[in-house]
Amino acid sequence: MPSWQSKLVMTTMRQLKKRVTHIVDDIPRLRTEKEFFMSKLWAPAGMHYDALRIEHLEAEWIMPKKPRHDKVMLYLHGGGYALGSINTHRSLIARISKEAGIRILAINYRLAPEHPFPAALDDAVLAYTWLIEHAGYRPEDILLAGDSAGGGLTISTMLALRQVNLPLPLAAVVLCPWTDLAGTGPSMRTKAESDPLLPACKLRAWGRQYAGDTSVRHPLVSPLYADLSGLPPLLIHVGTEEIVFDDSTRIAERAREAGTPVTLEVWEGMPHVWHFSWHLMPEARRAISNIARFVEARIDDGKERPKTDTKVTMLRHVYEATKISAAILGAAVVRNLL
């Protein structure tokens, strides 16, 4: 049973949804408004922030002043691949960082429509390889995480790394991931009225905007259509009141069938990425505590894993040398799916 706090938050979200639906085609205005409101969410006390650049990327370290672990998490924000930034997600990322006692690197990957696929994916891989080449982390020291579009991008990043035989991270956390930009899940229709945030009528258009000249069913655009074997353990959170509900349940099922360890948590009565409302909603605080427990468990598991002998200085060069254009990479797979 959802708490009274969550009902209050969802009522507010429904009012915002009406406004967003009105201006959803005005991307610059949407970005400005999201930055203005989301950047005002306060972050937990006792946190440290350090801005940096990774080549063309703006990035930021978000961490407790005394982290409990020497591991690191790379966080990819959501926003339909068109919105969002470190600023909009700092409050949520900081709360996860504090709960898990871990350093988190957040990045501003390039956004559509100015930068369609594979720009965001290339930026995520760049940040991952930078952690290994320049920050001194081994792949088994790194976790990936993201919400909504960033959750789908998190899975796509691991698929891209696997595609070019680069070592994969320890684990991944994906919150309400957008994994099917074709919008084929039944929840796109059945949850259209109950979802207090996402407008179903516009989500497919945003998917085509991000995909650009590439099929929305390309495995690296919509990881639901990918071979999900050989990935590290996944934690997936999803609320029952969101139109992308089936994006989470179907990719969890496909990953399990492929032999990838998956923990799927379905939260009754929760909207899309309710974790943002940790200030108000007890369900959000519990969900973030569950993320922290997952991280702790994977770190403990990782202590038993053999250390990789990665030639770290070569990672980026290998990726750049083997990177294939979005129109070609996985084309044979896409043809089989369509």
Q: Contact at 8 Å (CB) between 203 and 22?
A: no
What is the three-class DSSP state of 170? coil
In whole angstroms, what is the distance from residue 162 CA to residue 13 CA? 38
What is the three-class DSSP state of 274? helix
In whole angstroms, what is the distance from residue 63 CA to residue 71 CA? 11
Q: Contact at 8 Å (CB) between 281 and 204?
A: no
Query: How long a stretch of residues is the chain?
Result: 338
Q: Contact at 8 Å (CB) between 105 and 74?
A: yes
The pair of structure tokens assigned to 63 is 């961490």
Who's near 115: CB < 8 A, 6+ residues apart?
A: none
What pairing do the DSSP bridges indicate for beta strands 72-76 and 47-54? Answer: unpaired
Q: Contact at 8 Å (CB) between 125 and 161?
A: yes
Nearest to 182 by CA among 334, 16, 40, 2: 334
What pairing do the DSSP bridges indicate for beta strands 142-147 and 72-76? Answer: parallel
Q: Indicate which residues carry an active-site annotation.
A: 148, 242, 272
Q: Contact at 8 Å (CB) between 167 and 161?
A: yes
Give the distance from CA 21 to its chain's centroid. 23
Q: How far is CA 270 from CA 2, 52, 159, 259, 322, in A?
A: 7, 35, 29, 28, 41
